[in-house]
């Protein structure tokens, strides 16, 4: 575990030594507030909740998280520093987990900095803070899923732009799998079991459950398996690279 901690500390610190971290956080906060108060009609809804805030998170993460994850390994491969990393006395899986946890922690910090919106809704009314806390947990878990996928794809290419585009496409498929419009198309001809299976693969389906304040073990298992499988695939890619 010391190897994971070392990589985690190095990677997390590196985010704040460049403007990248501050630009990402600024863009995230500006867009999140714009979606909440303008597109989401926060005041027009006249309800003391953060539905207008969390509704847009899957779509917000769809572009911002791949922009963060595209550099995780693609940059290492392009600069050649991955060769040095592979020679260090640390297993590849520890590097994968350490880098992922650092990116996830950084993303969680960005999400946590939206707390003024939570304070605002409490000032204006009496929201269900338990449901809001659950939604924050769901948002962080979903961000982890996006990051794990992006990290795996980043390990497969030296080109950050390609890593970004592929991660967006794959993530979009996982979001749309639970979108009502897509499910309606399948439900028109497919058996219910197939429709439920397709929906169960979606970020949207599991995040919506948690966003409503219901933290189901199945939703937690989904995100855990998704992250675990993506990081395992990431490790295999690096092992193959090490064997070359």
Collect all residues with Cβ–Cβ distance below 8 Å to 87 and sequence separation of at least 6.
Answer: none
SS3 content of the chain, % helix, strand, coil (to 5): 80, 0, 20
**pLDDT-based confidence at residue 239 (cuts at 50, 70, 90):** confident
pLDDT of residue 80: 60
Average pLDDT for the chain: 84
User: Which of 151 and 19 is assigned the larger pLDDT?
Assistant: 151
Mean pLDDT of 182-207: 78
d(CA 131, CA 137): 10
Domain count, the chain: 1
Q: How many CB atoms lie within 10 A of CB 169?
A: 11
Tell me what pLDDT residue 20 has. Answer: 80
**Angle CA(192)–CA(194)–CA(197) in degrees, nearest 5?**
110
- Assess whether pLDDT exceeds 60 at residue 160: yes
Range of the domain at 13: 2-243
CA distance 37 to 53: 8
Report d(CA 227, CA 158) in Å as an integer.
22
- Top mean pLDDT of 48-57, 126-135, 171-180, 189-198 is at 126-135
Yes or no: say if 155 and 166 are a contact pair by the CB < 8 Å rule: no
Tokens coding 157: 């290419």
Q: Which of these ranges, 66-80, 123-137, 197-211, 227-241, has the smallest mean pLDDT?
A: 66-80
- Looking at residue 72, its pLDDT comes to 81
Higher pLDDT, 111 or 77: 111
What is the C-alpha to C-alpha distance for residues 31 and 24, in angstroms, rounded to an integer? 11
């Amino acid at each position: 575990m010391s190897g994971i901690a070392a990589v985690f500390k190095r990677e997390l610190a590196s985010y704040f030594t460049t403007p990248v971290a501050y630009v990402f956080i600024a863009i995230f906060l500006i867009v999140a507030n714009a979606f909440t108060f303008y597109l989401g009609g926060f005041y027009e809804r006249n309800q003391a909740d953060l539905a207008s805030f969390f509704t847009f998170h899957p779509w917000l993460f769809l572009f911002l998280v791949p922009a963060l994850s595209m550099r995780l390994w693609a940059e290492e491969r392009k600069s050649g520093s991955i060769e040095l990393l592979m020679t260090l006395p640390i297993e590849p899986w520890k590097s994968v987990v350490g880098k992922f946890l650092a990116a996830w922690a950084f993303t969680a910090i960005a999400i946590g900095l939206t707390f003024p919106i939570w304070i605002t809704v409490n000032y204006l009314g009496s929201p269900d803070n338990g449901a809001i806390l659950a939604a924050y947990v769901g948002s962080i878990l979903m961000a982890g899923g996006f990051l794990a996928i992006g990290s795996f794809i980043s390990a497969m290419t030296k080109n950050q732009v390609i890593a970004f585009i592929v991660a967006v496409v794959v993530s979009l498929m996982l979001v749309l799998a639970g979108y009502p419009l897509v499910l309606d198309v399948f439900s028109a001809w497919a058996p219910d079991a197939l429709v439920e299976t397709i929906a169960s693969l979606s970020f949207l389906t599991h995040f919506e459950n948690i966003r409503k304040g219901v933290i189901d073990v199945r939703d937690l298992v989904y995100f855990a398996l998704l992250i675990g499988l993506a990081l395992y695939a990431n490790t295999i890619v690096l092992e193959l690279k090490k064997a070359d």
